[in-house]
Amino acid sequence: MKRLFGTDGIRGRANVYPMTPEVALKVGKAVGLLFSNNSHSKGRVIIGKDTRLSGYMLEAALVAGICAMGADAYLLGPMPTPGISFITKNMRADAGIVISASHNPYWDNGIKLFTSEGMKLDDELEARMEELITSEKIDGSPDKIGKAFRIEDAVGRYVVHLKQSFPEGKTLDGLKIVVDCANGATYKVAPMVFGELGAEVVKMNCEPDGFNINENCGSTCPEPMAKRVVDEKAHIGFAFDGDGDRVIIADEKGNIIDGDDILAVCGIELKREGALPSNKVVSTVMAGKGLEVSLGREGIELVRTRVGDRFVYEKMVELGAPLGGEPSGHVIFKKFAETGDGILTALQVLWVMIKHGRPLSEIVAERSLRFPKVEKSVEVSEKKPLEDTPLASVIEKADNECKAMSGRVLVRYSGTEMKLRILVEGEDELLVEKIASFIAEQAAKYLS
């Protein structure tokens, strides 16, 4: 049977298996059973969501399942994923649930789970959840039924937490910031945080209607935000994704700053502050060669993991590394959070700018080296093992070409979508584009 859990929880088309009320009900029951009675007489489960229309449907089913097992559900409403992680830990709850498909279009949705510590489930817990969800029967007791409550002050708690990550006594006075909230979960929190710290905030895509989440906006489409920064003569711009756990930045000139640049800027800052005790920064196999070289010049080792921010966090804990993330803009500052947080990341970058009194373009130019890189996606009908397809020899030949120009090829299936991801980088920009296009053509021929 196909596994329910992918790279980041359960995800798919809303109202189509596995993102149906029936499956959500079973997830609720499994969470109620697995996480109850850890520290309370009744299990306590936090539930938050992004702004997709299907969130109402899945939320109701999850609540029914949780209460059927005798646990209590605490509803936050629309809230960024890292905010749900924080509230779960802050309220001493037994588990947290996020209803979101992150950067995907509105017609998709997903379910992500957090432990009482605000961390994503490890492989063992996912396997236990999967077994319970797919079992034929999970019965509750007629004399043990839970309740549902709405937490009205969740946004305020999270805003305070974010502001506390910014140095005490410091403000954003005098800064003009463009904020693109992707019509998603950050639409209320992000402008509030930057505004309360003193910035002049120019809002974009902060009017969710259930359908416009991530639609030509946010971290997957940051160009309009970058243009607005230039038009408004702003100092910086931030584009978040639908659930707020990632951010893509534009400097004052409209240049796009991705997760690799953020890790270079902040990793080098931590090293110079004496706050990088392991001299290691963690990212995934998707991290660019330029990041590796940039950090290496400062005596910092880049450690790579498989794709997924939970794998990044696990490696950070193992190595004692305070910083990790992904090129997509998922960045984890372990001092403040157990998962990627777009708003928190934005605040850390702002602090580097303020501390040095320099525009972001200058800081990035000094600290972050970029190799020409091309990324492409190809939709596939099924995820055949690549080694069993003619594409394997195409990839091997392309990789050898790239190694000759200090580059590399990485081809893998998406963990959340029916797509093949292709990454090619090297010193020759034209050759990189040519190789990436050829691999994409061949992938379409053999896999679509």
Whether residue 200 lies inside any domain: the answer is yes
Query: For residue 396, is pLDDT > 70?
Result: yes
Token couple for 390: 């003619």
Is the omega angle on the peptide bond into residue 390 within 30 degrees of 0, that is, cis? Answer: no
The pLDDT of residue 113 is 94
In this structure, the answer to whether residues 139 and 193 fall within a common structural domain is no
Q: Do the Cβ atoms of 382 and 2 come closer than 8 Å?
A: no
Residue % of the chain over a pLDDT of 90: 82
In this structure, the answer to whether residues 262 and 282 fall within a common structural domain is yes
Query: DSSP secondary structure string, 194-209?
Result: HHHTT-EEEEES----
In this structure, the answer to whether residues 285 and 361 fall within a common structural domain is yes
- Reported confidence tier of residue 230, pLDDT bands at 50, 70, 90: very high
Query: For residue 131, is pLDDT > 70?
Result: yes
Mean pLDDT of 259-285: 96
Question: What phi and psi values does residue 99 have, to the nearest 5 degrees?
Answer: -100, 100
The pLDDT of residue 1 is 46
Mean pLDDT of 111-126: 90
Question: What phi and psi values does residue 424 have, to the nearest 5 degrees?
Answer: -130, 130
Whether residue 34 lies inside any domain: the answer is yes
Query: For residue 8, is pLDDT > 80?
Result: no
C-alpha to C-alpha distance for 103 and 309, rounded to whole angstroms: 14
In this structure, the answer to whether residues 358 and 270 fall within a common structural domain is yes
Query: For residue 62, is pLDDT > 90?
Result: yes
The pLDDT of residue 403 is 87
Q: Has this prediction a pTM greater than 0.85?
A: yes
- What's the CATH number where 378 sits? 3.30.310.50
Query: For residue 221, is pLDDT > 70?
Result: yes
Instruction: Indicate the residue type of 288.
Output: G
- Reported confidence tier of residue 4, pLDDT bands at 50, 70, 90: confident
- What's the CATH number where 194 sits? 3.40.120.10
In this structure, the answer to whether residues 292 and 351 fall within a common structural domain is yes
In this structure, the answer to whether residues 35 and 144 fall within a common structural domain is yes
Distances (CA, A) of 168 to 114, 162, 351: 29, 12, 11
DSSP 427: S
Helix (H, G, I), strand (E, B) or coil at 48: strand
Residue pointed to by tokens 């936090």: 46
Picking from 308, 334, 367, the residue at the C-terminal end of a domain is 367
Count Cβ atoms within 10 A of the Cβ of residue 85 and give its class: 0-12 exposed, 13-18 middle, 19 or more buried: buried
Q: Mean pLDDT across the chain, nearest whole number? A: 94
Whether residue 4 lies inside any domain: the answer is no
Whether residue 207 lies inside any domain: the answer is yes
Q: Do the Cβ atoms of 27 and 11 come closer than 8 Å?
A: no
Q: Can you give the residue range of the structural domain that contains 411?
A: 373-447
The pLDDT of residue 417 is 79
C-alpha to C-alpha distance for 116 and 269, rounded to whole angstroms: 31
Mean pLDDT of 408-436: 90
In this structure, the answer to whether residues 101 and 22 fall within a common structural domain is yes
Instruction: Give me the count of residues in the chain.
Output: 448
Whether residue 2 lies inside any domain: the answer is no
Closest CA to 146 of 73, 59, 39: 73
Residues 6+ apart with CB under 8 A from 216: 224
In this structure, the answer to whether residues 299 and 240 fall within a common structural domain is no
C-alpha to C-alpha distance for 162 and 61, rounded to whole angstroms: 31
In this structure, the answer to whether residues 115 and 214 fall within a common structural domain is no
Q: Do the Cβ atoms of 61 and 24 come closer than 8 Å?
A: yes
Picking from 254, 282, 306, the residue at the C-terminal end of a domain is 254
Mean pLDDT of 393-415: 90
Whether residue 5 lies inside any domain: the answer is no
C-alpha to C-alpha distance for 177 and 2, rounded to whole angstroms: 45
Picking from 367, 385, 402, the residue at the C-terminal end of a domain is 367
Question: Which sequence positions are flagged as catalytic?
Answer: 102
C-alpha to C-alpha distance for 9 and 114, rounded to whole angstroms: 10
- Reported confidence tier of residue 137, pLDDT bands at 50, 70, 90: confident
Beta strands in 263-363 (DSSP E): 280-284, 301-305, 323-325, 331-333
Whether residue 3 lies inside any domain: the answer is no
The pLDDT of residue 415 is 75
- Reported confidence tier of residue 2, pLDDT bands at 50, 70, 90: low
- Reported confidence tier of residue 53, pLDDT bands at 50, 70, 90: very high
The tens digit of pLDDT for each residue in 174-194 reads: 999 999 999 999 999 999 999
The tens digit of pLDDT for each residue in 292-310 reads: 999 999 999 999 999 888 8
The pLDDT of residue 383 is 92
The pLDDT of residue 160 is 97
In this structure, the answer to whether residues 105 and 72 fall within a common structural domain is yes
How many domains does the structure of the chain reveal? 4
In this structure, the answer to whether residues 145 and 188 fall within a common structural domain is no
In this structure, the answer to whether residues 271 and 244 fall within a common structural domain is no
Whether residue 193 lies inside any domain: the answer is yes
